[in-house]
A = this chain, B = another copy of it.
Amino acid sequence: MDEEVAGLLAGAPGPDERAAAAVARRAAVVLRPAGALARLDELAGWLAGWQGTDRPAVRRPAAVVFAADHGVARQGVSAYPAEVTAAMLEALREGAATACAMSRHVGAALHVVDVGVGDPTGDLASEPALGPARFRACFEAGRRAVADLDTDLLVLGEMGIGNTTAASAVTATLLGGDVEALTGRGTGVDDAGYARKLAAVQAARRRVGAAAPLEVLRQVGGAELAAIAGAATEARLRPLPLVLDGFVVAAAVAPLEALHRGALAHAVAGHRSAEPGHRALLEWLGKPPLLDLDLRLGEGSGALAAVPLLRLAAAAVTEVATFAEWGLERP
């Protein structure tokens, strides 16, 4: 699928440069010292570009959380048994999970998409996580989940016991580098579990070696990672601004950037998690995080926590008077 998706991304529309420039111009003349809001002003321009309007706003944010099970979880790489994925899927659907409370308070619609709970992938240490047909089906499910949304800002999140093992395997295979430096404790696995996690990631990388970016994702990723790659691709095609959540989401979308430079121009990093591989990925992607609070939950939570910043960034340009409107000359 690498060639096909590379073609899609190459043909994707860019941001509305006129809208972005108009917002940058206004940000420079509203009632505050030029540059005083630093990254927030940049974000307002970025939002304008990808929303295609010189009146950017965050009125209808939507979070899509993809859930799936992982064959590698059977090896005991997580502090939690695989059955927790199904229980958390239910909690997410019933409004009882952290992402639900956060979505309510930031005014985001929360969509939960099951792409393989109870149907674990292959064990990435010893076999492809996904066959070609299932990889394509997950990628397309991700695209569909975004295609139908009525939203002005997309948040992508995930839930799946074992999926930081997949994220480390994707990162190590895609970027190279020391596996231990790219593998963290996930939900808080103990020393023995961490040793098994490291071994699984090392075996996965050895097994796959060098491969095309989406092939890496198919081989050592997972069903929700494939769906997230599809969702991010669809967001790029519409286009729609996107807030990335933590390590697993970053690992899921990084292959798109490897496939086509600029594929993720429509995305910002909502936060940086405690996972060491996340730091490496964000540096590689060139995306400084908005929040840096050592969160390590997933479910879209770190990205949801960043949504109000984007809302404020837009309002601080569109709803603030200019010096001229206020009868002042800029010094």
Contact = CB atoms under 8 A, between A and B. Distances in A.
Interface of A: 30-40, 79-81, 84, 87-88, 90-91, 96-98, 100-102, 104-106, 187-188, 274, 290-297, 299, 301, 304-305, 308-309, 311-312, 315-316, 319-321, 325-328, 331
Contacts of A98: 30-32, 37, 316, 320
Given A31-B88, A33-B80, A295 B105 contact: no
Contacts of A35: 188, 296
A contacts with B: majority SS: loop
B312 A36 contact: no
A271 to B, nearest CB: 11
Question: Of residues A79, A84, A96, which shows the largest number of chain B Cβ atoms within 10 Å of its Cβ?
Answer: A96
Contacts of A325: 96
Contacts of A101: 312, 315-316, 319-320
Contact of A331 (B79, B296, B327): B79
Given A320-B98, A321-B91, A326-B91, A312 B33 contact: no
Nearest to A80: B331
Contacts of A188: 33-36
Contacts of A293: 38-40, 290, 309
